[in-house]
Structure 1
Amino acid sequence: MNRAQPSRTAPGILSGWLSLPARLVRAGLFGALLLLAIVLTAAVWQPHWPLARYDFLVLYALAVQVGMLALRLETPREALVIVLFHLTGTAMEWFKVSAGSWSYPEAGTLGAFGVPLFTGFMYASVGSFIARALRLFDMRIAPYPPHWAAFALGGAIYVNFWAHHFVPDARWALMALTLVLFWRARVRMTLHRRVVVRLPVAALAAALLLWGAENAGTLSGTWAYAGQDRWDLVAVSKFGSWYLLLYVAWVTVTIVYRDRIHREG
């Protein structure tokens, strides 16, 4: 008599899905710890304390990074992804703040051009999540488009975040190109069993989570969009921005994780 595989039984499937939130937290541990610190410090920090809250967040993010590496919760490759994202994210922050897109209302020493240095870690947490999810969920992406095409699209999206202040915004055309280029790409991951999802669908789900996290940041008063009251929800258009930024993230991660993407299905 053939025995059913344990992972295919109802209890096995249920336990697999119940373990999913914990594994998602593990994948997004760096971002979750940073968001938690942003929210909690906003609630308790006092202006007369000797250390500015923004400076504390910089030191806190560095300490979390060192701790995760020391405890082997993060691999050197994942740390390299964080460095790459910190650089590209900080550069974008400098430009966006100078252009008046958003601002950081509190004082701080560890920063430049009106941008506290912890903001680069916020972008880095996106790359960290993707890199750690690749490992923790044993992800494979196939069929992946030609590398030159993926890098060209990622570069065009990144440039558009800057250029739309001077020329017509190309985000809708870029969104269409993400579907043209990546619709066939499928993310294969292990939950309770092997699960397959199209990459644009995974990007939409991740963008929704990031939009929610961004609302937590604005509600805490850590940053403020131009013309937005603290208690207003972040504009839905920012959801589209996060969706596009995730393709820049995918492309950046593939610089380090080429072994996880395959041209053939």
Structure 2
Amino acid sequence: MSVTIQHISEKKALKTKIGNSLKQLIFFGWEQALSCLFPVVIFLSLAITKMVPLPMLPRYDWLLIICLLMQWWMVRSGLETRDELKVITLFHLIGLALELFKVHMGSWSYPEDGYVKIGGVPLYSGFMYASVASYLCQAWRRLQVKLVKWPPFLIVVSLAAAIYLNFFTHHYWIDIRLWLFVSVIIVFWKSWVSYEVGGTRYRMPLALSFVLIGFFIWIAENITTFFGAWEYPNQAEAWSLVHLGKVSSWVLLVIVSFLIVATLKRVKGESQPDRG
């Protein structure tokens, strides 16, 4: 009889544990979805303007207007602070500079018309990069992110600068992407990101979080290219899956954006590193 009672008790405990885990997973997914508000608006805008042509202005210009209004509303509603807006704007400019160079080099193109284009690049494109920084800022606050064993400032800045410059220099010199990945692993080997879900704190190796975010951005890239956000040379005739190798590029770009956001949080004292 006691064995049966113990077995029932163990089954109840297992069900409770599974139920709590599912609740935590759902809550985590909901917080992530809220953090992705800006990217989701961009996706919806791309889809709607692709299927329903808007009057008076070319599609790219309407996308710019939508992004500007969304950014204004994010700050106006308090979802983003003015300091976060500065970081997001910085990343918008960083992304736009990269777009201008890559389009000039023929890495991809924006084939549709638009009044607000510079060097063949519509200005809305910078918001796709800025939305990554927006997601990081939102997730940072909602999940109460803390950094564990964060590397020294100069090392972090130097690594971020080297990653960003390699996007340009590999067209003229050797691609040091592999060495940059090795450097990331070495620099962040002992670093973790700590976050809270439903009152419980969890932590994850920082390098793993870079890979996961980069992978999901690659999935988003396939969606956006399907809706004509931009076009790779192999998609000129018909849409095809973006090469899986692009995940590595997104991982490196995520690292740059993460380091910029982390530096802001450190400067503002919103994320004191845990040395434990």
| Partner amino acid, structure 2, of 1:235 | H
Instruction: Determine if the alignment matches structure 1 residue 30 to structure 2 residue 41.
Output: no
The alignment-based identity, stated in percent, is: 36
Task: Report if the CA contact (8 A) 1:42-1:222 is conserved.
Answer: no
- Deviations along 1:105-159, one digit per CA (max 9) or x if unpaired, are 1000112111001111000011111111110000001101111011111000000
Cα distance per residue 1:199-249 (max 9 Å; x no partner): 111111101110011001111122111233542110111100001111111
* Secondary structure of 2:135 counterpart: helix
- Give the count of matched residue pairs: 256
Q: Would you say 1:61 and 2:67 are equivalent positions?
A: yes
Q: Distance in 2 between matches of 1:31 and 1:110?
A: 21
Report the equivalent of 1:77: 83
2:213 maps to what in 1?
A: 206
Question: Equivalents in 2 of 1:202, 1:153: separation in Å?
Answer: 17
Q: Which stretch shows the higher mean deviation, 155-164 or 14-23?
A: 14-23
**Partner residue of 1:146?**
152
Aligned to 1:108: 114
Cα pair distance change 1:72/1:23, threshold 3 Å: same
Alignment of 1:179-194 (within 5 A): 179-192=185-198, 193-194=200-201
4+ residue runs of structure 1 moved beyond 6 angstroms? none
5+ residue gaps, structure 1, are: 1-7
| Structure number with larger C-alpha Rg | 2
Query: Please, what TM-score do these two structures have when normalized by structure 2?
Result: 0.88
Alpha-carbon shift at residue 31 of structure 1 (Å):
1.2
Q: Is 1:247 aligned with 2:255?
A: yes
CA contact under 8 A between 2:46 and 2:228: conserved in structure 1? no
* Paired AA for residue 210 in structure 2: A
Moved more, 161-170 or 184-193: 184-193
- TM-score (structure 1 length as normaliser): 0.92
Asked if 1:96 is matched to 2:102, the reply is: yes
How many angstroms apart in 1 are the aligned matches of 2:180 and 2:86?
27
**Paired residue for 2:29?**
21
User: Where does residue 264 of structure 1 map in the other structure?
Assistant: 275
